[in-house]
Structure 1
Amino acid sequence: MSNMKTIFQISLAILLFFVVSCAKVSTPTGGEIDKTGPRLLQMSLENFSTQVQTDLKLITFDFDEFVSLGGKESPVVTPNGASISFSPKGMARKYVEVKFGKPLLENTTYTINFGKSIVDNNEKNPMDSTFIFVFSTGKSLDSLKLSGTVSSLLDKEPSKNLKAHLYKAEGFNLDSLQKNTPMYVSEIKENTYQFQYLSNLPYKLVVFEDQNQNASPDLDQEKFAIYPNPIDLNLNNQLETLVLSKGKTSGKKAVLAQTGAGVLSIKPGIKPEEIKSISGLEKENLTFGYTLDSLSVWFNPKNSSLKPGENIEILTSLSDTLKVKYQNLAPKPLSCKEESNPGFPLSGFTYSCNAPLINIREDSIKFENKTEDLPQIKTRINPQNPTQFFVELSSYTKAQTLVFGKNALESVFGGESAGFKLNAPQINPNSLGQLQVSLTNTPDSPFWIELYPENITNSRALQSNYGKLKEVSYKDLKPGKYTLIVKIDQNQNGVWDLQDPYLNTPTEPVIVLPKTLEVRALWEIKEIWDLSVEKQKPTEKKGNLPSS
């Protein structure tokens, strides 16, 4: 009897084990991973509806599976200003609700672009990102469109935080731009923005990279572009490429500061010709240097009548008088150091000094070892930044040491420089390549064509040529990848001007070659670049160089 009882207990335990195992819920294994996004089944309001009541409270979107609002993008609603919320958040449901917190505007077309915000609950596959829900409180849908492209200055790929914003042209004001709300916002994908279902109004277009994610442009810190004229969509709905850059701020009052011995800085920068006079200084004895946002003014304190503590006053043609208290600081002895130069030997050697130069005496630069067939020495001071100078040799077939005498360099502050040596290495000409660029359909205005390393961000041009050019040659290039850029001098003032939103002038056009050029040793690349269409692919011809 006890054996029968034992057998019964064992059988019951086995049966319970199988029952529990069969009832256990688990994710099926095997099979292909689901890569399909959720499918929209129905909506409580039909897409493209018109004459929708302004007191609309809720729209429901039903799906074929559990979804959540957990995608990489957030829904974009236009026009801005509508009090709209989305649910559910933090949980999965087979529906998404759009709730309206205040009455809608009359005779207005609304769009809800979900993008990739709605994903399935398991694999996070997004819903079809091309779906846009559109409805109108008027009798018809607004149907106007606007599109265009952007180019980020010296960057082949613009920032990931770029968006295009449309504001009402009426009442648009730069000073209150951060307080204004754009009517429409468009994501920028592959350098392109596109607005749809726009109402028939004149607009102002602003594109900016929102680095600090505050949803407003910081014109002093972020790259931006403002289309200069109000946009009439009936006349123009396809805009030319906007160049993103930091800009001039002529609408802001310039500030004068003394930043060292015998050096003044004006920010935002003005042009040297806009300076009428400087108290205690003769303008002809001044040296100027400028960047995109500042002007530096150097002078020799020994040649001034300035006294410590008195005001330096600069009178400008802009009717501004800039003031700063003078500090009688002693200049340091002139010293220079070599900078790294990825473009050597094409662009020679680059040196930076602690004071601006006004002259280089090439007869005071000697070769340490005097031999036959010495290369020629060529030097030049950077006209935009006179604290920098360049040295080039006509050939580098032999290693050479150049000796700069103590009087070879003359600075604004006078005195002798510490002598130094420059070691020029031997370069095998068979290790270098060449690049020849032929330009077609060039602009009517003069332009710069500049050669950069492949990574052009924060890089200096290896060579820059200016004029109405048809052909440019680059010899003695190290093997590697390079990029070409054209900057057009539309106003022909010899300066490539950034945008000035206060004067309503855009950044002068810039064209970046849409591919990199690979230079190889003993190869010559012949490039034909058509400048009439920015995105047109250039053709390329390659051939061996004769060995030397």
Structure 2
Amino acid sequence: MLRIIIFAVIFLIIFERCAQQVSPTGGKRDSIPPNLVESDPVNKMLNFKGKKLELFFDEYVIVDNINQKLIITPEADNPYSYKQNGMSVLLTFKNQFKDSTTFTLNFGDAIKDFAEKNPSKNLKLVFSTGTSLDSGRVYGTLKDIKTSKPIFDALVGLYNVSDTLDIAKQKPYYFSRTDSSGIFSIENIQMRDYKMIAIDDKNRNMLYNAKDERMGFLNKPINAGSDSASYDLNMFLSDNTPTKVQRTIPRVNNYSVVFSKAIEKVAVTFMNKDTLPYLLEPGGSLKFFNVQPHPDSVFVKLIATDSLGTTTDFEQKIAFQAPRGKDRQKDPFTLTTLPEPNKPLNNTFTYSLILNKPVQFLDDKNISLITDSLTHEPLSAFKWTWNANHNIITVNAKSFAKDTIKWDIPKGSVISVEGDTLTKMLLRHSVLKEEDYGQIMGRITNSEQAAGYIVQLVDEQYKVIAVSMTTPYTFRYIPQGKYFLRLIVDSNKNQRWDTGEIDKDRQPEAIYYMPEKILLKSNFELNDVNITIPK
């Protein structure tokens, strides 16, 4: 009896182990994507009149986010549902397709094998509802104008040529999306004229959002003829939305007018002879400060200028909140500098003190530059200026320090319009040692006197390290590292880069990069690093 029980236990253990299903071990991973073996309709079919499309594969497949990834051109505005049937995928459309039109369905990586999720490659279906297939094709590349880097997953559209084209409201007739190399291709196009426009299309609604999406366009219509043509587009930000007062923020101490977009400058005119100190803050906020005495309400006229140079007029009422307690709570009075704190300085330098409030009093005889323990030179000994809002001091100074340059700002030497002062500050900068830095020199080999030029040295994160408005150029005291050389063609000679504007058919000012990255070592000079403008 005991022998029978032992045998039964062993049998159950063996049976349980055999019954467990586990993934097979060893062997090669399946890296082969599913292949399309048949479709209904067949690829490049003519006179298709149906509402259903079915794709058949050589293995079991799954559908992944097809509503986002399937691109149908021309834009059909024809809702569909899909059904996954093991080794096939069925699409059922609500309406019949437009007559006498060639349609292309590009599935991207929407269909994958069941086991390893390998996407089917180059999966595309073309058919015509007429008697022939359209044969036009356009292709090209898309890059960011400021970095020259390719742009992935941007929408490149062909629009019907119209005087009233509004890409914020109208979708493209044909379109494609760029791959990781910024390359796009639009095929099987009707052979006629189109307007080519590219947009970031971050929300994938195929409409342009000017506030935060880049765009690029060709000035002249293109013709998608039987011979394919290549086009290169540069993309840029161009917020052409109207400037509005988005909101106001009344406080006891200040009153902020917040604009709907970034503002470069604001002209303020006070009505009825009232005045208030004010400051344009980064990001598009104009702050007025409550300085007594003044009436309960102050009326101003504002002329705001955006990054496109467009001006907008406003009339604004400034009304501060009534104080609730005896003492008004003030925002802290702060100071930042350019160059940044602790950054090494050459003994001859330009320096900026940046305050977060307008200043009503500054004692330039009490603020001093310390060269050594015995030599203190007052700010008044140097040439310095205020900006228009009285919150930025720019000083040209010279020091004879050997190790450290110091600015001594005693408490009470800077007083804001709100009556508060900076705490005592000692700003330190080490003296720049030339042997720790390099130098880059060169010129524009084919410059024209009619144009202005801005030469920029940028690091690998495209941060501007040095700028020259002249050619030949010289960049001194550059830290060891890797850099790019960038040239802006300053067409209007306003010493800044100006973006484009599609409504005015105006392209941005051209930007060119030297193709080779620059490797600079300490205590080293690179000469004849010249820039040639492409023809």
The bucket for the TM-score relative to the shorter chain is 0.7 to 0.9
Q: TM-score, normalised by structure 2?
A: 0.73
Aligned to 1:337: 336
Matches within 5 A, 1:404-483: 420-442=425-447, 445-456=451-462, 459=463, 461-467=464-470, 469=471, 471-483=472-484
Letter in 2 for 1:145: R
Q: Deviations along 1:352-372, whole A, 9 cap, x unmatched?
A: 212468999998743352789
Instruction: Determine what percentage of the aligned residue pairs are the same residue.
Output: 18
Aligned to 1:400: 405
Aligned to 1:220: 211
Matches within 5 A, 1:120-269: 120-129=113-122, 131-152=123-144, 154-155=146-147, 157=149, 162-170=154-162, 172-174=164-166, 177-189=167-179, 190-212=181-203, 214-233=205-224, 237-249=229-241, 251-252=242-243
Q: Deviations along 1:285-316, whole A, 9 cap, x unmatched?
A: 9999697x7596989979xx984414213479
Aligned to 1:113: 106
Following TM superposition, by how much is the alpha carbon of 1:24 offset from its aligned partner in structure 2, in angstroms?
Answer: 8.3
Letter in 2 for 1:61: L
Are residues 1:41 and 2:37 paired?
A: yes
Q: Deviations along 1:381-407, whole A, 9 cap, x unmatched?
A: 789997474767578743232345899
Following TM superposition, by how much is the alpha carbon of 1:197 offset from its aligned partner in structure 2, in angstroms?
Answer: 2.1
Q: Return the structure number with greater strand share.
A: 2
Q: Deviations along 1:189-242, whole A, 9 cap, x unmatched?
A: 223333222223443444333444555332223333454554444699544432
The CA distance in 2 between the partners of 1:395 and 1:182, in whole Å, is: 64
Following TM superposition, by how much is the alpha carbon of 1:37 offset from its aligned partner in structure 2, in angstroms?
Answer: 1.2
Quick check: 1:170–1:202 contact (8 Å CA) kept in 2? no
Q: Deviations along 1:520-543, whole A, 9 cap, x unmatched?
A: 222334473545349xxxxxxxxx
The CA distance in 2 between the partners of 1:427 and 1:254, in whole Å, is: 46
Q: Deviations along 1:247-267, whole A, 9 cap, x unmatched?
A: 243x45577969886987766
Structure 2, unmatched stretches of 5+, are: 322-327
The CA distance in 1 between the partners of 2:504 and 2:289, in whole Å, is: 31
Change (3 A) 1:477 1:214: same
Worse-superposed segment, 227-236 or 100-109: 227-236
Letter in 2 for 1:38: P
Following TM superposition, by how much is the alpha carbon of 1:348 offset from its aligned partner in structure 2, in angstroms?
Answer: 6.7
Quick check: 1:153–1:245 contact (8 Å CA) kept in 2? no
Change (3 A) 1:300 1:44: closer
Are residues 1:309 and 2:297 paired?
A: yes
Following TM superposition, by how much is the alpha carbon of 1:111 offset from its aligned partner in structure 2, in angstroms?
Answer: 0.7
Letter in 2 for 1:465: S
Aligned to 2:524: 523
The CA distance in 2 between the partners of 1:464 and 1:411, in whole Å, is: 33
Matches within 5 A, 1:1-40: 27-40=23-36
Q: Deviations along 1:17-36, whole A, 9 cap, x unmatched?
A: 79995x98765432222222
The CA distance in 1 between the partners of 2:532 and 2:419, in whole Å, is: 47
Q: Deviations along 1:426-462, whole A, 9 cap, x unmatched?
A: 3433222223344334476213222334223xx5x33
Quick check: 1:208–1:224 contact (8 Å CA) kept in 2? yes
Q: Deviations along 1:44-91, whole A, 9 cap, x unmatched?
A: 3332233x23x21233322222122238972211111242646444xx
Are residues 1:93 and 2:86 paired?
A: yes
Letter in 2 for 1:31: G
Worse-superposed segment, 490-499 or 154-163: 154-163
Structure 1, unmatched stretches of 5+, are: 535-548
Worse-superposed segment, 142-151 or 111-120: 142-151
Following TM superposition, by how much is the alpha carbon of 1:102 offset from its aligned partner in structure 2, in angstroms?
Answer: 0.9
Does the residue aligned with 2:469 lie in a helix, a strand or coil?
strand
Aligned to 2:324: none
Quick check: 1:307–1:328 contact (8 Å CA) kept in 2? no
The CA distance in 2 between the partners of 1:528 and 1:263, in whole Å, is: 48
Does the residue aligned with 2:483 lie in a helix, a strand or coil?
strand
Letter in 2 for 1:402: W
Following TM superposition, by how much is the alpha carbon of 1:147 offset from its aligned partner in structure 2, in angstroms?
Answer: 3.2
- Count matched residues: 509
Does the residue aligned with 1:430 lie in a helix, a strand or coil?
helix
RMSD: 5.3
Change (3 A) 1:394 1:215: farther
The CA distance in 2 between the partners of 1:359 and 1:529, in whole Å, is: 48
Does the residue aligned with 1:141 lie in a helix, a strand or coil?
coil
Letter in 1 for 2:105: I
Following TM superposition, by how much is the alpha carbon of 1:171 offset from its aligned partner in structure 2, in angstroms?
Answer: 6.2
The CA distance in 2 between the partners of 1:214 and 1:395, in whole Å, is: 61
The CA distance in 2 between the partners of 1:269 and 1:26, in whole Å, is: 60
Aligned to 1:67: 61
Aligned to 2:355: 353
The CA distance in 1 between the partners of 2:73 and 2:390, in whole Å, is: 47
The CA distance in 1 between the partners of 2:505 and 2:34, in whole Å, is: 47
The CA distance in 2 between the partners of 1:270 and 1:69, in whole Å, is: 46
Aligned to 2:325: none
Does the residue aligned with 1:528 lie in a helix, a strand or coil?
coil
The CA distance in 1 between the partners of 2:516 and 2:412, in whole Å, is: 46
Quick check: 2:303–2:314 contact (8 Å CA) kept in 1? yes
Quick check: 1:449–1:484 contact (8 Å CA) kept in 2? yes
Are residues 1:322 and 2:314 paired?
A: yes
Letter in 2 for 1:455: Q
